[in-house]
Structure 1
Amino acid sequence: MSSPRHHLDPATLVSLAAGALSPEMAAVAETHLEGCAHCRARRAEAEHVGGALLLQQQPVPAAGERAERLRDDMLARLRQPLPMASGRARPDPVDTRRDTDALPRPLQPYFGKSWKALRWRWMAPGVHMIRAPRSSGDALVLLKIAPGKSMPVHSHGGSELTQILKGAYDDELGHFGPGDMADLDSDIEHQPVTSPGVPCICVAALDGPLQFRGWLARKLQPMVGL
């Protein structure tokens, strides 16, 4: 698999490093990290910077102000190029070799270990889904969408993390293939169109409902539950 071209947002990496993501969001983020050396290095940087900033920070009157300042400083550091000093160790590589039937390890507690054992639920022509039981208020779903399928135009009622596992799609943000991460918020409106060839399979975590533009999609939304 080629290196991902679309990555986790620095703010998401900071939240992941701080343990502030929901279990569902963290599972999708960790799935991306399994195959993305760039984001693994960025998370290691976030953890290192966060620890250093906590040690350097002087007392301030308000705890909220202190936390916001730490977050802003960390984001500013993460947006800078990674230092390449020879004396600094790189993050340990993650061994991504696995049985081709095995799901990514962060997803196994939610969907099981085997691709072959998945039981897809029909949602619409060319669209199948598996919904994981919720352990927080966020939704976690596996989606399988047939090749050449155009999804309804939609925005997001909150944040969404979508990791491409197989196949690909194109939208207003570019081409997303295996290993790519779509880190989206309520400002993004898009219409994914799956690529020819094989179904696009992705895992998505959402902390708010999708916002569909078309009346038919809005009418069917309660059946889909997203």
Structure 2
Amino acid sequence: MTHYHPSIETLTDYAAGSLPLAHSLCISTHLELCSECQQQVRKLEMLGSEFFEDTKSEDRQLNSLKDSFFAHLETESHSATLAEQAKEEKRQMLDQTNESKALDWDAYKVPKSLRQFIPKGYDDLKWSRISPSFKMATLCNEEGGAQIALTRIKAGSHMPTHTHTGDELTLVLEGAFSDESGVYRQGDFISRDSSHKHQPIVTKDAECICLTVLDAPVEFTGWFTRLLNPILRRHHPHSGL
């Protein structure tokens, strides 16, 4: 079950079409993996439709409608979560049965929203090896802006400790990892900014593939891994290199 989601403010901006394209792609991919946020966005879109149908409504009426809507979301979220938990438990039982038979890591299912960048599968991408256990594949660079990339880390390994020089969105596509704040599994959405410093560690049962959107390059902080920072900057459009 997905435990980490975009904020309601981010989903509202997505439904309104006001997010940057790179961020919208990350949200779209999360929605494919999270039925709870799908429901939230549908309700937000309905709210937007009601607003545009009544162009003469006052700002105070809109604020009242939003307050009422968000209060309604909170009352529904518990029952929706329970239903989703039941579905997820059943799916996990099936997954565990399949995994006990065989693990075919070449058969990952690429989300529909990413297939324009990954038409054949993850293995056919051009991966750059950053360290013995950590690879990265750039999907798209916005000129002077955000980078959309995949990271791929071996089972039981970790990404070097790093900070963020800008905002970072991470979506777990396959596998799982943990850091000082929690454990993140398929579908989980994590937002980081320059105040965060962490060291993601992949679980031992499988490699981890994540979609990342970086407004600026990360900075490794270790004595040795700092030598890799120029490589990361070279891959990022924000650096201008």
Take 1:204 and 1:74, find their aligned partners in 2: how far apart are those partners? 34
1:121 aligns with 2:110: no
Q: Give the 3 Å change call, closer, same or farther, for CA 152–79 of structure 1 in structure 2.
A: farther
CA drift at 1:169:
0.5
- Partner residue in 1 for 2:58: 58
Whether the aligned pair in 1 keeps the contact of 2:133 and 2:158 (CA below 8 Å) is: no
Q: How many residues align?
A: 204
How high is the sequence identity, in percent, across the aligned residues? 30
Alignment-mate amino acid for residue 143 of structure 1: T
Structure with the higher fraction of residues in helix conformation: 2
CA drift at 1:190:
1.9
Q: Give the 3 Å change call, closer, same or farther, for CA 21–147 of structure 1 in structure 2.
A: same
Instruction: Pick one of 4, 7, 16 that aligns with 1:6.
Output: 4
Take 1:46 and 1:78, find their aligned partners in 2: how far apart are those partners? 12
1:219 aligns with 2:227: yes
- Partner residue in 1 for 2:140: 133
With normalisation by structure 2, the TM-score equals 0.71
Instruction: Pick one of 160, 174, 177 that aligns with 1:166.
Output: 174
Q: How does 1:95-110 map to 2 (within 5 A)?
A: 100-110=107-117
CA drift at 1:223:
0.5
With normalisation by structure 1, the TM-score equals 0.75
Take 2:155 and 2:26, find their aligned partners in 1: how far apart are those partners? 23
Write the deviation string for residues 21-80 of structure 1: whole angstroms up to 9, x where unpaired. Answer: 2222222211111011101011112222334456474269xxxxxx9x79x859955873
- Partner residue in 1 for 2:101: none
- Partner residue in 1 for 2:37: 39
Instruction: Pick one of 9, 13, 16 that aligns with 2:14.
Output: 16
The residue matched to 1:81 in structure 2 has which SS? helix
Aligned CA-pair RMSD: 3.2
Q: Return 5+ residue gaps in structure 1 as ranges.
A: 61-66, 85-98
Write the deviation string for residues 79-133 of structure 1: whole angstroms up to 9, x where unpaired. Answer: 733389xxxxxxxxxxxxxx94541111112232423422322111111111023
Q: Give the 3 Å change call, closer, same or farther, for CA 101–170 of structure 1 in structure 2.
A: closer
- Partner residue in 2 for 1:111: 118
Q: Return 5+ residue gaps in structure 2 as ranges.
A: 79-105, 237-241
Q: How does 1:176-195 map to 2 (within 5 A)?
A: 176-195=184-203
1:81 aligns with 2:75: yes
CA drift at 1:163:
1.1
